[in-house]
A and B are shown apart, each in its own frame.
Chain A
Amino acid sequence: MAKTVAGMPQIVNAFSSPDPSAIIQPLAERVRQETGARYVVVGNAQSIRYSHPVPERIGQPMVGGDNDQALIYGQSYVSEATGTLGTAMRGKTPVWDEEGNIIGVVSVGFMLDRVDMDVARYTSLGWALVALMIVLGFAGAYWLSQHLKKIILGLEPYEIARLAMEKEAILQSIHEGILAVNQDGHITLVNQQARRFLELPDEHVLLGQPIREVVPNSRLLEVLKHGEQEFDQEMWLGDHPVVVNRVPILHEGEIEGAVATFRSRREIIDLSQALTQASRDVDMLRAQAHEFSNKLYTISGLLQLQRIDEALALIHQETERAQAQMSFLMRHVADAVLSGTLLGKLTRARELGVTLEIDEQSSLSCPLTPTGQEVMMSVVGNLLDNACHAALNGPHGDQPTVRLFFTDLGEQLLIEVEDNGAGVPAEHAESIFAEGFSTKTGKHRGIGLALVARLCRQHGGAVTLEESELGGACFIAVLDRSLCAEAATEPAPS
């Protein structure tokens, strides 16, 4: 403020007038009143006052003795000094004429008590503002954290990080392919298995791509539209037949995206077949245990009834029958696993009351490879099970009969299974080998014959249907001889 006063042209010009204080005093007083300063004193180069709040002191020397810095060195400064009006915080600056000579000094003072009050007032206001900002900051941070927590389902950051890592590990390790899209139909997630189904390399960028361009038949856009879940739908993904589930992603009732999971249809069928085979094996073992226990019960009963001759006859008969079966199988079947399967089937047929005849001309002169054993067990097992079922439910259900013939003469393995059931109607002759087709009721039907047909195709053969001499159906399965472990050898000695 002192500099402003010192620079006022009226003040500078007044120094050269005959009575400077007549001009300077009114100006200085006006400035003092308007700014609230305690005093605005203008002095000449000898520190003689031209203005002062107390007019009587005009013309007297300025007190305080600190004008030299301004008058000699031309510096402006702030100092604390005691003047005629008391202790003040004052600013001093020289007054320059147009030639650059120091012609006077301006001293503007604010009483210290007033300054202290102002400082205290502004300091309090400052602290209040700081406190307000801190409170607002905390409130804002709390609101923001609650809002974020609501968005991220109340999870802590470390939990989110762990979940993200877990999700990634799960997505990449599971056996199902997963594709997710946002509400615009752009891909937001794809795992490794889905890439394998699509036969796309890792470097091929899928995220952000429109699903209709990557998988045109995904039907995810339809799910986005109608919001309905779809389960166990069959489709082709590239060259892979898959079973797919599609579900919408819903948030507060709005569709925000959709997810599709894919499983290999072939793997599902293989698993189903393995379970069916395991169930069949258990059934055979149960049948054998049941028959054995029945035989013991019969012998025990006969002995308790003192019918010793009948008991002995039964023992001999069973021994002979078992020996005959074993002897036949040892002479005609070189593979132990197939022999075991046939023994189990003979037992099961007896339990069912079905006469199972193995043609005496049957022969398998070579042991089978592990794959060959699995294939033969499946083919023979399925065809015999179907034949027993057909015979029991056919027109000769009181005398159900099934006949088995097999041979490895020639370049292929041949298996014939016929029954005296009702046969296969002409309209079913084609569809009977399709997966899912069955004349039986209940779940997990329509697998057996389809499996036989697929195994035969996979191993260089086929399965065909003819009419049996027994009156029912006759299935002829042909398999490649490569299922044999070695070249044909002599049948095992009896």
Chain B
Amino acid sequence: MSATQYGILVVEDDFRIADIHRAFIEQGDGFYVVGMARNGSEAKALMAQHAADIQLILLDAYLPDVEGLELL
């Protein structure tokens, strides 16, 4: 395992796709999942909570409460 670890926040409402994202990330060297959000409001809460740990956000374009681009 490399010394640098990049934290990723997964924002995806489809649980199967979220699960696949998580599996791929965990297979990668140097990446880990900071949190999993199912909608925009959960994503905002996790971003506020783990701001320092998140280097990347994997964001779905269509979420139940907000569009991905709008959240961005």
Q: Which of B13, B20, B27, B39 contacts A302 (CB 8 A)?
A: B20
Interface of A is mostly: helix
Number of A-B contacts (CB under 8 A): 30
Q: How close is A423's CB to chain B, nearest CB, in angstroms? A: 21
Hey, which chain A residues are within 8 Å of B65, CB to CB? 392
Contact A351 B62 (CB under 8 A): yes
Contact B64 A353 (CB under 8 A): yes
CA separation between A294 and B12, bound complex, in Å?
A: 11
Q: A298-B14, A353-B13 are in contact. Are A290 and B20 (CB under 8 A)?
A: no
CA separation between A301 and B17, bound complex, in Å?
A: 8
Contact A305 B14 (CB under 8 A): no
Among B1-41, those with CB < 8 Å from A are: 13-14, 16-17, 20, 23-24, 27, 39
Contact B17 A294 (CB under 8 A): yes
Q: How close is B15's CB to chain A, nearest CB, in angstroms? A: 10
Q: Which of A290, A305, A392 contacts B62 (CB 8 A)?
A: A290
Q: Assign chain B's interface to a size class.
A: 10 to 19
Hey, which chain B residues are within 8 Å of A294, CB to CB? 14, 17
- A142 within 8 Å of B (CB atoms): no
In chain B, what residue has the closest Cβ to A314? B16
Q: How close is B22's CB to chain A, nearest CB, in angstroms? A: 10
Q: Which of A290, A298, A352 contacts B16 (CB 8 A)?
A: A298
CA separation between A297 and B14, bound complex, in Å?
A: 11
Among B41-72, those with CB < 8 Å from A are: 61-62, 64-65
CA separation between A290 and B65, bound complex, in Å?
A: 16
In chain B, what residue has the closest Cβ to A298? B16
Known pairs A298-B20, A351-B64, A353-B64; list 9 more (Cβ under 8 Å). A290-B61, A290-B62, A301-B24, A302-B20, A304-B24, A305-B20, A307-B23, A352-B64, A353-B39
Contact surface of A with B, Cβ cutoff 8 Å? 290, 294, 297-298, 301-302, 304-305, 307, 314, 351-353, 392
Contact surface of B with A, Cβ cutoff 8 Å? 13-14, 16-17, 20, 23-24, 27, 39, 61-62, 64-65
